[in-house]
Amino acid sequence: MDDVLDEWSYAILTWKTGDAEENIHNQPKKRCSFLGSPCVCLNQVVQRRDIALKIKAVSEKLDDIAKEKAMYGFELYRATDHELQRLTSTSLVDESSVCGRDDEKKIVVSKLLAGSGQEARDMEVISLVGLGGIGKTTLAQLVFNDSEVATHFQEKIWVCVSEPFDGVRIAKAILEHLKVSTSNLVELQSLLQSVSQSINGKRVLLVLDDVWTEDHRLWEQLKPSLVGCARGSRILVTTRKGAVAMMMGTNHRIDIETLSDDACRSIFNHMAFLDRSKEECERLEDIGNKIANKCKGLPLVAKVLGGLMQSKRTREEWEDVLSSELWRLDEVDKSQVEKEIFLPLLLSYYDLPSVVRRCFLYCAMFPKDYLMKKDELVKMWMAQGSSIEEIPKQVGKLIHLRHLNLEGCRELVSLPETMCDLCNLQSLDVSKCSSLYELPRAIVKLIKLRHLRINASCVAFMPKGIERLTCLRTLDCFIMCGGGGGENESKAANLRELKNLHHIGGSLKIKNLQRGGIEDAVEAQLKNKKRLLCLELNFCVNYEDDSLIEVLEPSLDLERLCIYNYGGIVLPNWMMALTRLQHLNLIGCVNLEVLPPLGRLPNLESLMLYELQVRRLDDEFVGIEEVENAKINEGEIARVTAFPKLKTLRIASLSKLEEWDGIERRVGEEDATTTSIFIIMPQLRFSGCHRYEAHQRLGLPTIRCKIRRGTKETLRLTSDLLSILNDLHQTLLITPLSSFPSL
């Protein structure tokens, strides 16, 4: 049935968008009539009939299966996921076998007995958080059975919650502790009402052991029934997950740490040397200490290993355990260890999402005690140690494939044409495929495609007909043919084809912009693409065309703009209308001599100027020229702030920059106008400006200035520089003076 539905959906899209094959082979046909082509209409009728017959066949097959089910008496059986057996905890504990938790016990008891600072009917939550086997439940048992705690609370209730979080079962367990009959109570509503009535006005200690769920809705169902307790009531929670503690509104979180080596040895010795003679204990003590050190501070492991060693009488048997990994013991010992240690710990593993489980298992490839680096591990997860050089042609048979991720396949040279038969493909990622130079021409058949990522690949151009992919939401890079004629130019799409891609959003990089494409750029209608937040315009080097960039006006919602290798003298007029712009990079614009008043962009946070021909950074750049020329009444002060949100300013390789005019200045004789820049303390990076000799006094109370090592600027120790040092105080970060030989 899925096959038929997919085929039907694909057919509808094909009819709406026209025949994709016609565009692939670039054979435009003129129709002499307002009626559709008879062949096309006939094809649609035939395809509709084929799909109808397939639906009928599937329906008949389902009817036959239903008849056979009734004939043979088959019953519907739903398979359930295999669940690990979860042990149910109780409040009982053998205190003689517990070591190393005295300090934690005192802390928890003090929290339980302390007076509440909240309203009388509020109940505080205390959470014990730690990994499996570390002793959370044991600590809760010690506290639960403490004599002071028993005296302080009128009612003590212990509930093992575990997974799943069953409100009905928890409510019944509470009522059983309170000796309230639940035989006539079935619904959660009536159970919670009974709980509320039974504990109303009493000081209660409720222990919720082994809580796993992070679903706050389940907790919110139970919580209202507990608010009627007397002042000083407490809920003590044990959980492996910090998110659970947060979800339950914890007032006091206590993280349970691993035990000391001495405490682990005490637990191990208590179990391992039980009923042994003094001589035997002395003979095995040194090996026992080494085995106990393998516990890594986990009391559960110490207890299980101690119990394992009870049955081993000879030194040789102890040495075998010491020299073996836990999973390489003999069958009897291995069974005991797996049951008592690994199964409880596996609960945490099975609680992970399936994707994270695979990443966790991958870590087993590393040697014991290997120090993993996060970034390195993530890259290895992504690569999985394999390199894809070729995609088999048979991939076209996976007609139900929705997502194909080939990111980072650096050896991949081409994509098979059969891949374009994946009529249900919605996401294709070939980014960072550094050997991939061309996309299949038939890719325009993938009319269900929503996400196409090709950034950082070596794809030379977008195939003609890309405009047919009207479902695209993500297109991170649109590459125009570099010019020069040739076969590629006849196969390449132009900017005009962006017009029909109404839904693309996020980031878009347009590469190889050049003269002659103004009409196509107008048709691209970038201004109407409201979901586009980041735009990068990358021009072919040495093309000096101011008119092209003017018609590439983006939406006013743009937040990031990068312009590379622009050959014009001035920037487009629309730039100052981008009031939501947060990041602006101007790089390699070798003819750019004048900058617009960028200081008036109200939300600009980051500005990078690199390899420009600008000679001056003055009032016009800051955006205060109009204020200075404005009429100001005598005695009035006009304060203007330029770059109000700028956090980072990078100025590099402005080889013709000669002066940076005073940015803080006054108009007239008195305090007529005060202009300042940077409300937020920015980070200034300044390098490679060889003609610039001295900064003027900056209007910054504090600024981080970093002059990079080895830039070889000539700094003159003048009064201007001294005034800068005086302004910057201790926030000036400068490399050693030896890096500036001309100083």
Two structure tokens written together for 288: 């026992």
Residue 738 C-alpha from the chain's centroid:
43
Angle at 532 (CA atoms; ends 526, 534), nearest 5 degrees: 105
Region 381-395: mean pLDDT is 73
Alpha carbon distances (Å) from 738 to 712, 728, 734: 10, 21, 11
pLDDT at position 124 over 80: yes
Task: DSSP letter for 511, please.
Answer: E
**pLDDT score for 721:** 41
Task: DSSP letter for 229, please.
Answer: S
**pLDDT score for 677:** 64
Question: Residues in the chain, how many?
Answer: 743
pLDDT at position 371 over 50: yes
Note the pLDDT tens digit of each residue in 709-732. Answer: 334 443 333 334 444 444 444 334
SS (H, E, C) 358-383: HHHHHHHHCCCCCCCCHHHHHHHHHH
Two structure tokens written together for 201: 């006005």
Please state the φ and ψ torsions of residue 278, each to the nearest 5 degrees. -65, -40
Note the pLDDT tens digit of each residue in 645-692. Answer: 899 999 988 888 887 764 544 333 334 445 566 666 567 787 777 766
SS (H, E, C) 397-431: HCCCCCEEECCCCCCCCCCCHHHHHCCCCCEEECC
- Please report, as a single letter, which amino acid is at residue 618: D
Note the pLDDT tens digit of each residue in 551-562. Answer: 999 999 999 999
Question: What CA–CA distance (Å, rounded) separates 671 from 636?
Answer: 8
Region 527-545: mean pLDDT is 86
Write out the DSSP string of 482-503.
-SS-SHHHHHB--GGGGTT-TT
List, in sequence order, every beta strand (DSSP E) within 149-200.
155-162
Is the domain 95-255 a CATH 3.40.50.300 member?
yes
Question: What CA–CA distance (Å, rounded) separates 302 from 211?
Answer: 24
Please state the φ and ψ torsions of residue 287, each to the nearest 5 degrees. -70, -40
pTM: 0.51
For 580, the 3-state DSSP assignment is coil
Question: What CA–CA distance (Å, rounded) separates 338 from 355?
Answer: 24
Please state the φ and ψ torsions of residue 349, each to the nearest 5 degrees. -65, -45
Question: What CA–CA distance (Å, rounded) separates 241 from 247?
Answer: 10
Of 268 and 323, more confident: 268
Note the pLDDT tens digit of each residue in 419-467. Answer: 999 989 999 999 989 899 999 999 999 999 999 999 989 999 999 999 9
Are 704 and 649 within 8 A, CB to CB? Answer: no
Q: What is the dihedral of CA 354, 358, 364, 370, to 10 degrees?
A: -100
Are 326 and 337 within 8 A, CB to CB? Answer: yes
**Adjacency order of strands within the sheet including 252-255:** 155-162, 204-211, 234-239, 124-129, 252-255
Residue 572 C-alpha from the chain's centroid:
36
Closest CA to 296 of 237, 368, 360: 368
| Per-residue pLDDT band at 17 (split at 50, 70, 90) | low
Are 715 and 691 within 8 A, CB to CB? Answer: no
What sign does the CA torsion over 491, 497, 503, 509 have? positive
Are 232 and 120 within 8 A, CB to CB? Answer: no
- Please report, as a single letter, which amino acid is at residue 361: L
For 95, the 3-state DSSP assignment is helix
pLDDT at position 309 over 50: yes
Q: Maximum CA pair distance of the chain?
A: 109
Question: What CA–CA distance (Å, rounded) separates 706 from 636?
Answer: 37
Q: What is the dihedral of CA 467, 469, 471, 477, to 10 degrees?
A: -80
Q: CB count, 10 Å around CB of 469?
A: 23
Question: What CA–CA distance (Å, rounded) separates 578 from 598?
Answer: 10
How large a percentage of the chain has pLDDT more than 90? 29
Region 109-130: mean pLDDT is 76
Per-domain boundaries in the chain: 2-62, 95-255, 261-350, 611-743
Two structure tokens written together for 53: 């017959």
- Which string of b and e fits 72-111 if b means at least 16 CB within 10 Å? eeeeeeeeeeeeeeeeebebebeeeebbbbeebbeebbeb
**pLDDT score for 730:** 38
**pLDDT score for 66:** 85
pLDDT at position 532 over 90: yes
Are 524 and 500 within 8 A, CB to CB? Answer: no
Are 735 and 712 within 8 A, CB to CB? Answer: no
